[in-house]
Copies of this chain bind each other. A is one copy, B any other.
Amino acid sequence: MAAAVVEANGLKKQEKGAGGIDGPTNPMVTPLLTDLYQFTMAYAYWKAGKHSERAVFDLYFRRNPFGGEYTVFAGLEECIRLIANFKFTEDEIAFIQASLPSSCEIGFYNYLRGLDCSDVEIHAISEGFVVFPKIPLMRVEGPVAVVQLLETPLVNLINYASLVATNAARHRFVAGKSKLLLEFGLRRAQGPDGGIGASKYCYMGGFDATSNVAAGKLFGIPLRGTHSHAFVSSFMSPDEITEKSLKSADGPNVCEDFVGLVQAWLSKLKWSKLLGGIFGETNQSELAAFASYALAFPKNFLALVDTYDVMRSSIPNFCAVALALNDLGYKALGIRLDSGDLAYQSCEARKFFQAIEKEFGVPDFGRTSITASNDLNEETLDALNKQGHEVDAFGIGTHLVTCYAQPALGVVFKLVEINNQPRIKLSEDVSKVSIPCKKRCYRLYGKEGYPLVDIMTGESEPSPKVGERILCRHPFNESKRAYVVPQRVEELMKCYWPGRSGKDREELPPINLIRERCIKQLEQMRPDHMRRLNPTPYKVSVSAKLYDFIHFLWLNEAPVGELQ
């Protein structure tokens, strides 16, 4: 395991841990990023001599988010990075000692000193997979005191990652494959790495790019962005532009007065028969801002067109600059709409662009790209689709990154076995009863290639075979059962951290491969599971043997006493 070095700010600089795996992306993810009760329990286990007992915990969620019937699993790599580098510094141990009662024995701190995850074994579903309630996303096995310490950080690292990746996938589903989706949420995210995490996992869930430069650097995510309203307001008039010359795209020709060329185009537009009467005087500070931006980025001119008035000022100003650029061999990228009726405005802008293409013979001008932003979410995307719109790209922020429609996924971490004894957690609420035993999980596929059902079995049961009739039972409802004959059987959990088991360790793929896997996974689902309104629940089941065992345990553990 890596030696952890204490830095001046109390955070650790992680060297590469076991297996050559880097530390967590956020250096604040340390073994102290856990609940105090994990340490009090660890001490109580240690004091009772139980700390090394072999425990198996399942990490799973109980309900799909956003009223949907699927979830995208994300966050695994960060978990493995934590595991591979899990080691207390002396500074951390001193803090734990100061936080626990002074009666705690010193031997415990020596135990913590030697502690790492070399004896922990983790099986997990691969990151980017579509997953469902109750099926373990991770199975964490190891000394009970160690695994308990991991509970909080693992749940934290999976919870938001899976939630926001699912949210991104849902936005992609509504927007459609052909649209460009840009994540613009950093400023509204829940803290700095709420923003960084959002950028990472929205990309994983199917977005195309982010505005977040730090995330671009950390994860290689494509970056997008042009200018804001403040840029427009910061200009007073075209007179303040002193350097007005612009070289042509393909050669040595220089236009000495680009601003004049823009002004000339603006009057041509104003007096044009096709466009006539749409606008009078456009806002001159806006015109100055657009011209200035084009002088800085002649190949990448994209303008925000709602600082003053979209159709009466911004679109004419944009077109004048774009046509001037066109004269010099440059092609403007497009516009961004950020307020008002986006569907209507996009259609009006499109008509204007098409009219210009026709009147001035500028090829492809009618197809100038239109980006829309402003508090977009699944519902507004859906409403835009229903109204009909001409938007090519969506910039989505607040609702996407804060998961406004449901800001938490209820990931839990439950003990399912200790010392080879299966454990069950009962509850009056049947959805909260845990599924005991160290398990294996399979996805069974039907003839059309769609997944039909996920099934959990005991660890030592034979795996389901292709072409065999398999009884799939609802874990708690006796009457819900079905025979399935799978055309393909996929074991869901792979070994991502072998501990001392000697198993091969599954590689952690780069983010773009996880993204591709996720997109493929979403595409292979039967459409009725994916639709926004009344989706069909995907079935999650247990084997007949596991079913019987659950109910045997349940009876054994139920409280004895009077019926109240």
Which residues of A does B touch, CB under 8 Å? 7-11, 13-15, 22-30, 32-41, 43-45, 47-50, 53, 55, 57, 92, 95-96, 99, 101, 103-104, 144, 148, 151-153, 155-157, 159-161, 164, 184, 186-197, 211-214, 216-218, 223-231, 233-234, 236, 240-243, 277, 279-281, 283, 292-293, 295-300, 307-309, 311-313, 339-340, 398, 402-404, 407-408, 410-411, 413-415, 418, 421, 423-429, 432, 557, 559-562, 564
**From B186, B194, B560, contact of A35 by CB (8 A):** B186
A217 to B10, Cβ gap below 8 A?
yes
Q: A33-B214, A35-B225, A415-B233 are in contact. Are A186 and B44 (CB under 8 A)?
A: no
Complex CA gap A238/B564 in Å reads: 27
**From B47, B313, B559, contact of A296 by CB (8 A):** B47
Q: A227-B44, A277-B562, A339-B429 are in contact. Are A234 and B189 (CB under 8 A)?
A: no
Give every chain B residue within 8 A of A11 (Cβ-Cβ).
Answer: 27
B194 to A191, Cβ gap below 8 A?
yes
For the complex with contacts A27-B28, A281-B560, 4 further pairs of A-B residues with Cβ separation under 8 Å are A35-B213, A41-B228, A148-B228, A280-B560
Complex CA gap A9/B296 in Å reads: 33
Q: A191-B197, A227-B41 are in contact. Are A186 and B34 (CB under 8 A)?
A: yes
Taking the closest CB of chain B, its distance from the CB of A227, in whole angstroms, is 5
Give every chain B residue within 8 A of A39 (Cβ-Cβ).
Answer: 213, 225
Taking the closest CB of chain B, its distance from the CB of A316, in whole angstroms, is 10
B213 to A99, Cβ gap below 8 A?
yes
**From B7, B57, B156, B279, contact of A189 by CB (8 A):** B156
Complex CA gap A28/B193 in Å reads: 7
Give every chain B residue within 8 A of A277 (Cβ-Cβ).
Answer: 562
**From B40, B227, B229, B428, contact of A339 by CB (8 A):** B428
**From B50, B159, B188, B429, contact of A408 by CB (8 A):** B188
B557 to A308, Cβ gap below 8 A?
yes
A14 to B22, Cβ gap below 8 A?
no
7 A-B residue pairs with Cβ-Cβ distance under 8 Å, sorted by A, are A26-B193, A44-B295, A47-B292, A95-B216, A156-B189, A339-B428, A403-B407
A159 to B188, Cβ gap below 8 A?
yes
B313 to A559, Cβ gap below 8 A?
yes
Give every chain B residue within 8 A of A188 (Cβ-Cβ).
Answer: 155-156, 159, 408, 410-411
Complex CA gap A234/B279 in Å reads: 75
Give every chain B residue within 8 A of A398 (Cβ-Cβ).
Answer: 408, 410
Give every chain B residue within 8 A of A283 (Cβ-Cβ).
Answer: 557, 559
Complex CA gap A65/B40 in Å reads: 37
Closest to A189 in B: B156
Complex CA gap A428/B415 in Å reads: 56
B407 to A190, Cβ gap below 8 A?
yes
Taking the closest CB of chain B, its distance from the CB of A521, in whole angstroms, is 23
